Chains A and B, each alone.
Chain A
């Protein structure tokens, strides 16, 4: 716990409170194949001096949290002042990187989590009632979406939903719209990512619920049957209450998982239309100049987000535990 959770969190928090030292510039002449050119360069000796005195950089308090790349307090205030309607304010909010990411992350989490629980449950009940001989095979195929590495799965779909891909062209024919492109519009990209998310995570819910179904009290079921309960009534009044603790478990795990949605955005090259908190961190660390403080700040904000998101489920689990004890 101390080594793998506590220390890394302390280190990101520390990093998020600092920025790099002031860089000292010098004017130099650069020469390459294509000729010589005056250019600016960093005076390494002077910068090194600053860095050895204070290796952490400059302490800036919470500045990193409130700049435009994160909570953007001043931009937000200006947007509130200048916008005439809520719609306009939303548009300006959506233009700020962190809020755009939070909005997609929340929509994704809020839609994918219940859907995958419902689908997982349906698949589990369906598989549970088929012929014993077929079960093994069906279970294997139902698990495939989870077995395929997310990045590979999304890359395969990326090509299939291309305007020239098999799913993309089929949709164009079915909807009679030759210009339809799933990747070119923001709402369609969001839907694609959400469908992918449900497809990928349903097997997890299925496995958990299927295991739960094996422990169903048979006598309760039989007495319900004798009382004349229909199949639906048996599911509603016997199966679902029996599986409720597992629903809490799946919801908890999947809320955390969906909140850090990342691979499909990279796999689908979807960053033009959808970004998530994890993607922002990745983007800050990617490329030639890594923005460590910015990435740390987003990490801390993500941790806070996970805590807020999970608190209702955690409180519920805590109460249940209390009642049992």
Chain B
């Protein structure tokens, strides 16, 4: 059995053993239906919330990779299909834009909860979500390969290029670097990282007009292009899953990867011999003379739907507060994420994300039109990498595509 499945089963098992301690969760009646992303940490939260099911209280969850497509329609109805959504700093924005989630201040005042003030995500002074974990992309490297090549771990993208060149020229690996450059969300996110690392701002201050067709944008694209020389030539089709598989097969020496996916990389299961024990989670790199690392910080938290009865809202709030209670923090659960919950002790899998926070990376912007720019980048950037056009032309195309979408959504008039 897959280790991830196993660990979540163990987590579920542990939780059910301690069910007596949670019994009822203080809910008397109501329906709870949670929509969220699907990875081990979120599964733990979903399972813990489900523990609150009982007499008159129904708890169901829909944890899926397709949550982004479902959440807006799923929360739009009146009453809404889902009573709660587990979101990240990007996916809360469309819910906020359409006013589909409710402020939690009343519920916090009435029921409290075992979480710290730091976990409250406030927008315009109102608590809109309760955060429970942090995430970020950072570097991962193979200690043995770097030693064999006689190089130091890279702290900037310029170093990554140098290290990759040494590994390649010594004939150790042909394509030593890996990152999720697949057309679409992935490559757009890598551009975002690089652009923020250069000190860029995506929009002209205080306006929805894009601001990426400039020297920083061009430098970002050129750095990405230089990196692709050391990547599998199929890079425009490779997502996180494929890159992780390459890593586990021992085909990569350095890669940019999500903290939330680090746990399985450190485990022997499914890895070629010698890979897991030499895998080191490292800080995110800087780029150019940028002061902040070329990456973004993310949080995951829960929100409560607006278009539901107060009874269901209270039940959902209580079930999820119960799910993020410090009591859930077993060793198994701790290794699944970088939790922002009291009582969490950092594990080896969290090293990269903590290094990212330490280095002062910027959070992914919570701006209403950010996701439109992200989509436009994902659709237009591949032309630059397949050599069809110049960096300036590509960035001009991105801005043009974004402006059309932003007009349709009513952001630009």
Contacts and interface: CB of A to CB of B under 8 A. Distances in A.
Interface size class of A (residues with CB under 8 A): 35 or more
Given A37-B363, A268-B237, A288 B183 contact: no
Most buried by B among A37, A44, A162, A272: A272
B397 interface: yes
B357 A34 contact: yes
A294 B386 CA distance: 26
B82 to A, nearest CB: 16
B299 A32 contact: yes
Interface residues of B, number: 68
A95 B400 CA distance: 12
A186 B185 CA distance: 20
Interface string B86-128: 0001110110110100000000000000000011111111000
Contact of B94 (A26, A58, A288, A293): A288
Given A20-B409, A23-B411, A269-B182, A289 B234 contact: no
Interface string A181-212: 10111100000000000000000000000000
B121 A31 contact: yes
B401 A31 contact: no
Interface stretch (A1-9, A118-126, A279-287): A279-287
Contacts of A158: 237
Interface in A41-92: 41-42, 44, 47-48, 57-58, 64, 67-69, 91
Contacts of B182: 269, 272
B407 interface: yes
Contacts of A58: 410
A64 B183 contact: no
A105 to B, nearest CB: 17
Interface stretch (B27-35, B314-322, B371-379): B371-379
Contacts of B206: 27, 40
A290 interface: yes
B324 interface: no
Given A22-B410, A26-B124, A271-B184, A289 B371 contact: yes
B408 interface: yes
B400 A68 contact: yes
A295 B184 CA distance: 17
A29 B123 CA distance: 6
Contacts of B185: 287
Given A32-B89, A183-B237, A271 B413 contact: no
Contact of B340 (A19, A25, A33, A47): A33
Given A32-B121, A33-B134, A183 B363 contact: no
A25 B237 CA distance: 37
A87 to B, nearest CB: 13
B233 interface: yes
Interface of A: 19-23, 25-34, 37, 39-42, 44, 47-48, 57-58, 64, 67-69, 91, 95, 97, 158, 162-164, 179, 181, 183-186, 268-273, 283, 285-291, 293-294
Given A33-B131, A34-B357, A34-B363, 11 more contacts: A25-B208, A32-B299, A69-B404, A97-B379, A183-B234, A269-B237, A272-B182, A283-B379, A288-B374, A291-B408, A294-B405
